[in-house]
């Protein structure tokens, strides 16, 4: 029983699915039973996933598991195999962390809704499907998991249709556009099977490597890439994401941004780097980077125009996925490090932000930016967590968003320098600019929701219960820790994943037997992390603390000389807000009024974008069809 | 014989996409999704098809002689079965959403179901 | 040591917040004239502040109409200590030609302590500068008493 | 035993660096003096006598001695902490510049992107502090501050990328130390003709970053009552004013590091500090006082358009020129 852990992946996935049905059978009446089942299933799956760190990350093993013991015979893999390499485990960890936090949050957050048995069933199915998606070693199994994921996501999006009929609309769009994506992926799988006669990813990788790219393979690649791009919501496929994230319950939005669109990114990395090994093609790098840059720009500019807290966060989610795709698409090692690190950070800070949005909704009953305000005094802990998340996503040092963005900028500019292509310079500038715009729109949220004056309806708002604060605290702590110790995080967490990506020989060998990869022309190429420049946030923070202490010391020692501090005791006119000599009234600068100058100058752009996001299912389907066609054609024309 | 299968499959996929893009009625959009699924299913079945193929029953001597191309590939058929089931589920889900939408929005016209825009 | 530096600084950088309580604008113009290159009060560190929270000296002009009384008092409360109140012109001192009108509440002394009163209708810029300078000295005394 | 003594001495030297010489005290005194020079020169340009050069010190100490009124709508913690965070991160910026040879506490471990992002911390501190005070004027002010930031960030990014490419050539150099080393052997970047537009763009960015007229829309005291600072009084206000002054120093010092190179006078580091201060003063007069003296405040949409067209255009010219090896 020395390697009993090989059963862990399959147990964790199946355990989640089993629990989903157990909840439906036993938990529909009793809320304690259903929550206990869900929590135990999530905890168990997460614990097993985390345990795999030891063999996979520390010892560098690749775990393989054949369903029903159907091992490959005669060089052909017939059975369904599960295979966990560094990349799969990396995304598995993000998934496990996300659903664990979300299930902790759900207990109090969802307590006012009915039909919670269905909620936990779908929740567990979503968790299980994404975990299965990143652990599986079989392309068709991947497709099945994608379909279960879409199915559960759609149902969860529509979960609150009683209070918010828009949820139905979001769910329907998500379903229609998602089905185009999964159908395309299936088409790609079929075409791939036509040329390789196998569905096992390791074997496909080896066979494509030895046979070279044929037109059918290329078409398969194009359609699979397009299908996964739809699943990871890059522009122009981002519209269902914005609708679904905004209308789903916040705990579900956390799942969406933390694992569902990561699943798409995982698929793209697996596809381009390992399955087809096409990342040595300049044209594909250009395609992915431009898609990424477009995604982050469109996402962030649309976010600036939003009036709803969660819809704004949804567009930021899209924008940050653009960063990841751009970095991964650069095809350099530094880009991979930056991209994967940013994917991880995105899970942390965007999950945190969606949780705070959920807390605001729980406490006030709305997420409309124009109706909120002044919550900082009433919900101080939520505000603190939100600020951590906002600073992290805007890339303020020393939070984690800065560390990964910093690597991404270096990677992009280095790529520009190596390739001599001016497009990469534009991409770098875009990436840097998008970061400021992200800051701008979070300033808008901060000002509109947490600071300023509270409207009369929110006077009695109270802080959310501890059960909801706990996951927010954990996420905030992780955000700060990953930012301060980014070097250690990269070495221990990101590095194994990058090694797995750049070194697919081991992946193939574990599945198909020793020497199979080498026979098919896949050699080992291990990598190490080297950054272009150095920055030590711990040292900086240390100095920061020292100087702050010094300043505070001076301030305290000079307190007698300094003027007195006058705290407000009750509402008197001395401490009232200055209102141009008038009595102070409730006046709050709502979210829509901010950035007037900016929006006026870019009126044309915002008008066009507003019209394009028309909300009509047909228009969105047209976007998807055009985008998919372009991607497929591009790969077919430029990759051969 | 097999070429016509491919052509029909591609036509079905294109038709499905066209319906999704052009028809404003929600039920028609769902039908478009269905048509696209059928096109892909047809394609997958055709991939496994083999002229004059038999059922996939073979003996050890066939494997040893490498004589394995006389039967129809069973895996695409298995894939198709799975895909049909999934397609049916998705369609059922979509139709149930349409019913709910009709109840709440009092319409099934995609042009009027656009509260989430901008 | 710091106490002395702070007290001395009080006289050297008084920031002014100007409230017009129904003035005919004569005094206001003269106050603005003090900022022009000819008189240049900035050489003593005087500066117009945008909000009462930043102000050291509140300059009041006009005969304190009933409408503006509450607003003036509210503003005066919002000024952090130590601060001075300076009136320009005869209106806030006595009501001037508006005295006895049903809508005029002057003199200002009824409602708050006035540190310096600059008389005249309107006072000359030289007088205003002198008055403000005196107010700055009072500011220092108030700070030392704190 | 001597080991421990040597270690202690090292720690003491670092502490002195951080707190006194290139760090807090030097930055504060230099910044306030620069602000004073700015006001004096401006007064002379307007044919006034103007306040004494040490006037900002008087302002600072006076504000320190005033009462601090914390408004009822504010969050006291954030209200008081925001200016200090801004001050500390600004004064630490001075340690990043390799202007005093290797005597700087950070040596050469800083790079352009870190600088770019650290520069946002004081602005964010101002914004958070302003919005924590709960005034609607502050709400307008922070939105303007943010738009200004969006405006100048695009050209700033392009200038920094142009510098990195120019200095690095085939291998990119992001580190400030590398940039100043390059200039020691190849001469100032300012005298490379392809970098002149970038330098001009940077000079135009400085006043917006510091927030002086005509780019002071965020703190326009005549229309929105000093914007984010409206509810601030007493010591926190003093520190915010100090931050603005240090920002002048930091931005002009950054210009001299990027475009003029290293001032390494070896053991005469104090003299080096003086030289840096003189350069900063000249730059302050050049890009802030002059522009202030003959322009009126811009409207926010004009400011944004100006930065995204004229200044970004200048920076782009440099970037393209550098990119094609000129």
CB–CB of C78 and A573 under 8 A?
yes
Q: Which of A565-569, C71-75, C94-98 is predicted with the least confidence, judged by mean pLDDT? A: A565-569
pLDDT computed for residue A550 by the predictor: 77
**Separation of alpha carbons C138 and D3, rounded Å:** 58
Measured between beta carbons, which residues in chain D are less than 8 angstroms from residue A571?
72
pLDDT digits (tens, 9 = 90+) for D167-183: 876 666 677 777 777 77
- Once rounded to an integer, what is the mean pLDDT over residues B44-53? 76
Q: Which of A263-272, A596-605, C125-134 is predicted with the least confidence, judged by mean pLDDT? A: A596-605
In D170-215, beta strands by DSSP E: none
**Separation of alpha carbons A57 and A507, rounded Å:** 14
> Token digits for A170?
């979001």
> Token digits for D321?
């020129």
- Core vs surface per residue C27-61: b (16+ CB within 10 A) or e: bbebbeebbeeebbbbebbbbbbbbbbbbbbbbbb
pLDDT digits (tens, 9 = 90+) for A392-438: 988 888 888 888 888 888 888 888 888 878 888 888 888 888 888 88
**Separation of alpha carbons C78 and D234, rounded Å:** 12
CATH classification at residue C132:
3.40.50.12280
Measured between beta carbons, which residues in chain C are less than 8 angstroms from residue D62?
6, 9-10, 12-14, 56
pLDDT digits (tens, 9 = 90+) for A114-162: 788 888 889 999 999 999 998 888 888 899 899 889 888 999 888 888 8
CB–CB of D131 and A594 under 8 A?
no
CB–CB of C80 and A582 under 8 A?
no
C and D interact (at least 3 Cβ pairs within 8 A): yes
Handedness of CA A187, A192, A193, A195 (dihedral sign): positive
Q: Which of A367, A393, A385 has its CA nearest to residue A448?
A: A367
pLDDT computed for residue A78 by the predictor: 74
The minimum CA-CA distance between A602 and chain B, rounded to whole Å, is 15
Residue B67, CA distances (Å) to A203, B62, C66 in order: 22, 5, 109
Residue C1, pLDDT above cutoff 80 = no
Interface of A with C in 532-571 (CB under 8 A): 558, 560-561, 563-564, 566
Residues, chain B = 118
Measured between beta carbons, which residues in chain C are less than 8 angstroms from residue D292?
none
Classify D179 in phi/psi space as left (phi over 0), alpha (psi -120 to 50) or beta.
alpha
C57-61 and C15-20 strand pairing = parallel
Listed ranges A219-233, A455-469, C105-119, D90-104; the one with the highest mean pLDDT: A219-233
Measured between beta carbons, which residues in chain C are less than 8 angstroms from residue D52?
43, 45
Q: Which residues contact A505 (CB under 8 A, 6 or more apart)?
A: A517, A518, A522, A523, A524
Q: Which of A449-458, D216-225, D295-304 is predicted with the least confidence, judged by mean pLDDT? A: D216-225
Structural contact between residues C87 and C114, judged by C-beta atoms closer than 8 angstroms: yes
CB–CB of C75 and A581 under 8 A?
yes
Measured between beta carbons, which residues in chain D are less than 8 angstroms from residue A591?
none
Give the closest of C3, C51, C81 to A578, CB-based.
C51
CB–CB of B86 and A621 under 8 A?
no
pTM of the full structure = 0.89
Beta partners for C116? C86
Handedness of CA A26, A27, A28, A30 (dihedral sign): positive
A-chain residue closest to C142, CA distance: A563
- Once rounded to an integer, what is the mean pLDDT over residues A305-311? 84
Give the closest of B86, B97, B114 to A175, CB-based.
B97
Interchain CB contact of D59 with C (< 8 Å): yes
Interchain CB contact of A583 with C (< 8 Å): yes
Question: What is the DSSP secondary structure assignment for residue D45, as one 8-state letter?
Answer: H
- Once rounded to an integer, what is the mean pLDDT over residues D275-288? 78
Query: Cα–chain-centroid distance for residue D267?
Result: 27
Query: Cα–chain-centroid distance for residue C145?
Result: 21
- Domain coverage including residue C105: 2-145
pLDDT computed for residue A527 by the predictor: 64
Indicate the helix (H) or strand (E) that contains C47.
strand C47-48
Question: What is the DSSP secondary structure assignment for residue D310, as one 8-state letter?
Answer: I
- Once rounded to an integer, what is the mean pLDDT over residues A526-536? 63
> Token digits for C84?
């001075």
Measured between beta carbons, which residues in chain C are less than 8 angstroms from residue A576?
74, 78
CB–CB of D225 and C7 under 8 A?
no
User: Where does residue A565 rank: exposed (0-12), middle (13-18), buried (19+ CB within 10 A)?
Assistant: middle
CB–CB of B20 and A169 under 8 A?
no
Structural contact between residues A139 and B75, judged by C-beta atoms closer than 8 angstroms: no
Interchain CB contact of C53 with A (< 8 Å): yes
**Separation of alpha carbons A4 and B61, rounded Å:** 38
Residue C72, pLDDT above cutoff 70 = yes
Q: What are phi and psi of B71, to 5 degrees?
A: -115, 165
Structural contact between residues D314 and D197, judged by C-beta atoms closer than 8 angstroms: yes
**Separation of alpha carbons A548 and A449, rounded Å:** 29
- Once rounded to an integer, what is the mean pLDDT over residues A513-532? 66
C-chain residue closest to A558, CA distance: C2
**Separation of alpha carbons D163 and D258, rounded Å:** 7
CB–CB of D147 and A532 under 8 A?
no
The minimum CA-CA distance between C44 and chain D, rounded to whole Å, is 6
Measured between beta carbons, which residues in chain A are less than 8 angstroms from residue C53?
578
> Token digits for A188?
């790609």
> Token digits for A113?
């809704």
**Separation of alpha carbons D318 and D326, rounded Å:** 9
- Once rounded to an integer, what is the mean pLDDT over residues D131-156? 82
Residues, chain D = 326
Question: What is the DSSP secondary structure assignment for residue A65, as one 8-state letter?
Answer: E
User: Where does residue A128 rank: exposed (0-12), middle (13-18), buried (19+ CB within 10 A)?
Assistant: buried
CB–CB of A581 and C19 under 8 A?
yes
Q: pLDDT band at D103, cuts 50/70/90?
A: very low
User: Where does residue D293 rank: exposed (0-12), middle (13-18), buried (19+ CB within 10 A)?
Assistant: middle
Q: What are phi and psi of A70, to 5 degrees?
A: -80, 85
Helix ranges (H only) for A457-504 are: 466-484, 486-489, 495-502
Size of interface A-D (CB pairs under 8 A): 231
pLDDT digits (tens, 9 = 90+) for B57-104: 666 666 666 666 667 777 788 888 888 988 898 899 899 989 988 888
CB–CB of D233 and C54 under 8 A?
yes
The minimum CA-CA distance between A495 and chain D, rounded to whole Å, is 23
> Token digits for A391?
């600073």
Residue A226, pLDDT above cutoff 80 = yes
Residue D102, pLDDT above cutoff 80 = no
Residue A502, pLDDT above cutoff 70 = yes
The minimum CA-CA distance between C38 and chain A, rounded to whole Å, is 30
Q: pLDDT band at A523, cuts 50/70/90?
A: low
A-chain residue closest to C7, CA distance: A561
**Separation of alpha carbons A417 and D170, rounded Å:** 7
pLDDT computed for residue A530 by the predictor: 64
Cα angle value B73/B79/B82 (rounded, 5°) = 145
C15-20 and A565-566 strand pairing = unpaired
Give the largest Cα separation in chain D, rounded. 65
Interchain CB contact of C32 with A (< 8 Å): no
The minimum CA-CA distance between A613 and chain B, rounded to whole Å, is 5
The minimum CA-CA distance between C30 and chain D, rounded to whole Å, is 17
Cα angle value A483/A394/A333 (rounded, 5°) = 60
pLDDT computed for residue D116 by the predictor: 83
Measured between beta carbons, which residues in chain C are less than 8 angstroms from residue D225?
50-51
CB–CB of D154 and A433 under 8 A?
yes
Q: 3-class DSSP state for residue C118?
A: strand
Residue D238, pLDDT above cutoff 60 = yes
Measured between beta carbons, which residues in chain D are less than 8 angstroms from residue C5?
61
Structural contact between residues D231 and C80, judged by C-beta atoms closer than 8 angstroms: no
pLDDT digits (tens, 9 = 90+) for C86-143: 988 888 888 888 888 888 887 888 888 888 888 888 888 888 888 888 888 888 888 8
Give the largest Cα separation in chain B, rounded. 66
Cis-peptide, bond into residue D76, ω within 30° of zero:
no
Residue A499, CA distances (Å) to A60, A333, A336, A509, A527 in order: 9, 9, 10, 15, 6
DSSP A76-140: B--S-EEEE-HHHHHHHHHHHHHHHHHHHHHHHHTTT-S-HHHHHHHHHHHHHHHHHHHHB-BHH
Cis-peptide, bond into residue C122, ω within 30° of zero:
yes
Q: What percent of chain A has pLDDT over 90?
A: 4
Mean per-residue pLDDT over chain A, rounded: 83
Interchain CB contact of C67 with A (< 8 Å): no
Q: Which of A88-92, C45-49, D134-138, D267-271 is predicted with the least confidence, judged by mean pLDDT? A: D267-271
Measured between beta carbons, which residues in chain B are less than 8 angstroms from residue A189?
79
Domains in chain B: ranges and CATH:
2-50+71-105 (1.10.287.3510)
Structural contact between residues A249 and A160, judged by C-beta atoms closer than 8 angstroms: yes
Q: Into how many domains does chain C fold?
A: 1
pLDDT computed for residue A129 by the predictor: 92
Give the closest of D18, D76, D147 to A598, CB-based.
D147
Q: Which residues contact D94 (CB under 8 A, 6 or more apart)?
A: D22, D23, D26, D27, D249, D250, D253
Q: Which of A122-136, A461-475, D24-38, D267-281 is predicted with the least confidence, judged by mean pLDDT? A: D267-281
Structural contact between residues C132 and C14, judged by C-beta atoms closer than 8 angstroms: yes
Size of interface C-D (CB pairs under 8 A): 91
Measured between beta carbons, which residues in chain D are less than 8 angstroms from residue A577?
71-73, 133-136, 231
User: Where does residue A140 rank: exposed (0-12), middle (13-18), buried (19+ CB within 10 A)?
Assistant: buried
Q: 3-class DSSP state for residue A64?
A: strand
In A379-510, beta strands by DSSP E: none
Give the closest of D64, D222, D237 to C54, CB-based.
D237
Question: ipTM of the assembly?
Answer: 0.84
Q: Is B21 or D135 the better-scoring residue by pLDDT? A: B21
Measured between beta carbons, which residues in chain C are less than 8 angstroms from residue A560?
3
> Token digits for A561?
């000389």
Interface test with B, best of A77, A167, A177, A183 (most B CBs within 10 A): A183
């Amino acid at each position: 029983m020395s390697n009993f852990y090989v059963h862990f992946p399959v147990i964790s996935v199946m355990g989640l699915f089993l629990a989903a049905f157990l909840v439906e059978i036993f938990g529909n009446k009793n809320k304690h039973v259903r929550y206990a089942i869900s929590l135990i299933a999530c905890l168990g799956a997460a614990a097993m996933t985390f345990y795999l760190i030891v063999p996979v990350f520390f010892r560098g093993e690749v775990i393989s598991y054949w369903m029903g013991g159907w091992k490959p015979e005669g060089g052909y893999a017939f059975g369904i195999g599960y295979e966990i390499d560094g990349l799969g485990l990396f995304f598995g960890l993000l998934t496990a962390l996300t659903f664990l936090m979300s299930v902790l949050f759900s207990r109090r957050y969802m307590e006012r809704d009915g039909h919670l048995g269905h909620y936990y069933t779908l929740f567990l199915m979503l968790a299980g499907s994404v975990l299965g998606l990143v652990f599986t070693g079989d392309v068709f199994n991947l497709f099945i998991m994608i379909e279960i994921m879409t199915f559960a996501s759609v149902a969860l999006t529509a979960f609150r249709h009683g209070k918010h009929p828009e949820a139905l609309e979001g769910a329907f769009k998500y379903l229609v556009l998602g089905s185009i994506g999964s159908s395309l992926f299936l088409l790609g799988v079929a075409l791939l099977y036509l040329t390789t006669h196998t569905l096992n990813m390791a074997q496909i990788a080896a066979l494509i490597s030895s046979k070279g790219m044929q037109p059918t393979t290329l078409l398969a690649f194009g359609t699979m890439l397009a299908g996964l791009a739809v699943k990871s919501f890059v522009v122009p496929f981002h519209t269902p994401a914005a609708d679904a994230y905004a209308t789903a319950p916040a705990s579900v939005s956390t799942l969406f941004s933390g694992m569902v669109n990561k699943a798409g990114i995982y698929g793209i990395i697996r596809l381009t780097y390992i399955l087809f090994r096409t990342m040595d093609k300049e044209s594909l790098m250009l395609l992915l980077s431009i898609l990424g840059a477009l995604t982050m720009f469109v996402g962030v500019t649309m976010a600036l125009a939003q009036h709803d807290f969660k819809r704004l966060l949804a567009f930021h989610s899209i924008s940050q996925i653009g960063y990841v795709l751009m970095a991964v698409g650069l095809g350099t090692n530094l880009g991979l490090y930056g991209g994967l690190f940013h994917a991880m950070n995105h899970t942390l800070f965007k999950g945190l932000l969606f949780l705070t949005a959920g807390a605001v909704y729980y406490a006030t009953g709305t997420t409309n930016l124009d109706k909120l305000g002044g919550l900082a005094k009433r919900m101080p802990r939520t505000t603190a967590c939100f600020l951590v998340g906002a600073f992290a996503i805007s890339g303020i040092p020393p939070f984690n968003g800065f560390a990964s963005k910093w690597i991404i900028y270096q990677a992009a500019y280095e790529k520009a320098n190596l390739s001599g292509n001016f497009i990469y310079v534009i991409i770098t500038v875009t990436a840097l600019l998008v970061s400021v715009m992200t800051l701008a729109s979070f300033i808008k949220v901060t000002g509109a929701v947490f600071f300023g004056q509270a409207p009369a309806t929110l006077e009695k708002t109270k802080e959310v219960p501890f059960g909801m604060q706990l996951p927010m605290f954990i996420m905030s702590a992780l955000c700060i820790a990953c930012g301060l110790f980014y070097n250690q995080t990269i070495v221990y967490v990101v590095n194994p994943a990058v090694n797995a990506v750049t070194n697919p020989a081991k992946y193939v060998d574990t599945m198909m037997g020793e020497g199979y990869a080498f026979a098919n022309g896949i050699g080992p190429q291990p990598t190490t992390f080297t950054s272009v420049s150095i920055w030590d946030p711990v040292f900086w923070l240390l100095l920061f603390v020292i100087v702050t202490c010094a300043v505070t010391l001076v301030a305290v020692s000079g307190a007698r000389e300094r003027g007195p501090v006058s705290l407000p005791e009750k509402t008197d006119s001395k401490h009232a807000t200055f209102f141009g000599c008038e009595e102070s009234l409730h006046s709050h600068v709502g979210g829509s009024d901010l950035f007037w100058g900016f929006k006026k100058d870019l009126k044309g752009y915002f008008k066009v974008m507003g019209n394009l996001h028309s909300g009509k299912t047909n228009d969105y389907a047209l976007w998807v069809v055009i985008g998919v066609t372009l991607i497929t054609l591009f790969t077919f024309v430029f990759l051969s | 014989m097999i070429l016509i299968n491919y052509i029909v499959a591609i036509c079905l996929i294109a038709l499905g996409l066209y319906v999704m893009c052009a028809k404003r009625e929600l039920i028609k959009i769902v039908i478009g999704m269905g048509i696209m699924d059928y096109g892909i299913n047809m394609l997958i079945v055709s991939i496994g098809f083999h002229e004059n193929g038999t059922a996939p029953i073979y003996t050890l001597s066939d494997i040893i002689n490498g004589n394995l191309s006389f039967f129809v590939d069973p895996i695409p058929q298995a894939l198709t079965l799975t895909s049909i089931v999934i397609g049916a589920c998705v369609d059922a889900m979509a139709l149930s959403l349409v019913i709910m939408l009709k109840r709440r929005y009092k319409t099934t016209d995609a042009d009027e179901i656009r509260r989430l825009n901008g | 040591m710091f106490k002395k530096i702070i007290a001395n600084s009080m006289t050297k950088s008084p920031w002014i917040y100007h409230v017009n309580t129904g003035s005919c604008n004569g005094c206001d113009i003269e106050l603005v004239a003090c900022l022009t290159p000819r008189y240049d009060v900035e050489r003593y560190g005087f500066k117009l502040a945008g909000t009462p929270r930043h102000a050291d000296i509140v300059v009041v002009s006009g005969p304190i109409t009933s409408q503006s009384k509450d607003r003036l008092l509210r503003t005066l409360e919002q000024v952090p200590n130590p601060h001075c109140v300076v009136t320009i012109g005869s209106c806030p001192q006595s009501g001037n030609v508006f005295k006895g009108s049903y809508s005029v509440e002057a003199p200002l002394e009824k409602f708050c302590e006035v540190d310096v009163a600059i008389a005249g209708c309107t006072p000359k810029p030289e007088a205003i500068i002198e008055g403000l300078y005196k107010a700055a000295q009072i500011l220092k005394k108030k700070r030392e008493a704190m | 035993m001597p080991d421990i003594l040597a270690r202690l001495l090292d720690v003491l030297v670092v502490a002195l660096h951080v707190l006194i010489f290139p760090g807090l005290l030097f930055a504060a005194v230099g910044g306030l003096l620069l602000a004073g020079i700015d006001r004096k020169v401006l007064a002379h340009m307007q044919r006034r006598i103007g306040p004494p050069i040490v006037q900002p010190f008087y302002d600072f100490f006076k504000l320190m001695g005033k009462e601090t009124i914390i408004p009822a709508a504010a969050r006291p913690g954030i209200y008081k902490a925001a200016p200090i965070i801004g001050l500390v991160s600004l004064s630490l910026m001075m340690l990043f510049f390799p202007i005093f040879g290797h005597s700087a506490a950070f040596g050469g471990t800083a790079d352009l992107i870190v600088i770019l992002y650290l520069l946002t911390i004081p602005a964010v501190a101002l914004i958070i502090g302003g919005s924590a005070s709960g005034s609607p004027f502050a709400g307008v002010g922070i939105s303007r501050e943010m738009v200004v930031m969006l405006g100048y960030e695009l050209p700033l990014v392009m200038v920094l990328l142009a510098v990195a490419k120019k200095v690095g050539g085939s291998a990119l150099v992001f580190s400030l130390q590398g940039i100043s080393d390059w200039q020691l052997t190849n001469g100032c970047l300012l005298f490379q003709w392809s970098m002149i537009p970038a330098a001009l763009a940077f000079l135009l960015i400085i006043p917006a970053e510091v927030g002086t007229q005509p780019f002071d829309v965020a703190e326009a005291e005549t229309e929105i009552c000093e914007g984010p600072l409206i509810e601030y009084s007493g010591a926190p206000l003093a520190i915010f004013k100090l931050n603005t002054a240090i920002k002048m120093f930091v931005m002009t010092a950054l210009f001299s590091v990027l475009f003029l190179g290293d001032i390494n006078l070896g053991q005469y580091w104090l003299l080096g500090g003086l030289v840096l201060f003189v350069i900063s003063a000249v730059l302050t007069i050049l890009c802030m006082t002059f522009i202030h003296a003959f322009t009126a405040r811009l409207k926010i949409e004009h400011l944004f358009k100006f930065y995204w067209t004229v200044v970004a255009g200048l920076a782009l010219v440099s970037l393209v020129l550098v990119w094609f090896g000129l």
